Amino acid sequence: MTLDEFDYKILGQLKKNARIAYASIGKDIGLTAPAVAKRVQKMEVCGLIKGYTLAIDHSKLGNSIKALITIKLGFPKLHEFKKDVPLFEPVQACYRVTGEDCMIMEVLLRDNSHLVTFLDKLSSYGITKTNIILNDLMDKKK
């Protein structure tokens, strides 16, 4: 699918607020609501728009620590780790990456005790490094 200026503007609006009304998008970019709806539907059908997500304030659910944990694991542990990681409750995202560490996980944890328990669990797979996230510079809601 080839995108034009309107499609990029629509994507920009949806990125800011996936629940925005098509009429509001249309008013901002100079199209009718049905024209916007048709363009969004085309982007959904072709797989460009894969879905809409929910943003949750995890601190209100009791998770006060957000961290990035890298793990360096040996090849024998790779298959076991790939099988187990979807079962780890704190893991929000996990990426296989290049470099010395082969995995990066984004995790949400209740407190330091929860972090220590989780790191102990990960130690059976390999060597970890933890970076606690202090704030998100891209979070426009703060």
5-45 and 58-132 share one CATH topology? no
- Find how far residue 52's CA is from the centre of its chain: 12
Structure confidence at residue 141 (pLDDT): 65
Q: Give the number of other CB atoms < 10 A from CB of residue 78.
A: 15
Name residues of the chain where pLDDT drops below 70.
140-142
Structure confidence at residue 140 (pLDDT): 67
All structural domains of the chain with their residue ranges: 5-45, 58-132
Structure confidence at residue 75 (pLDDT): 82
Q: Give the DSSP letter string of 25-80.
A: HHHHHT--HHHHHHHHHHHHHTTSS--------GGGGT--EEEEEEEEE-HHHHHH
Fold of the 5-45 domain: Arc Repressor Mutant, subunit A (1.10.10)
Structure confidence at residue 74 (pLDDT): 83
Structure confidence at residue 121 (pLDDT): 96
Structure confidence at residue 58 (pLDDT): 86
Structure confidence at residue 55 (pLDDT): 81
Question: Which CATH code fits 58-132?
Answer: 3.30.70.920
Answer yes or no: pTM beyond 0.85: no
Quick: pLDDT tens for 65-78.
999 999 999 888 99
* DSSP, res 2: -
Q: How many residues comprise the chain?
A: 142
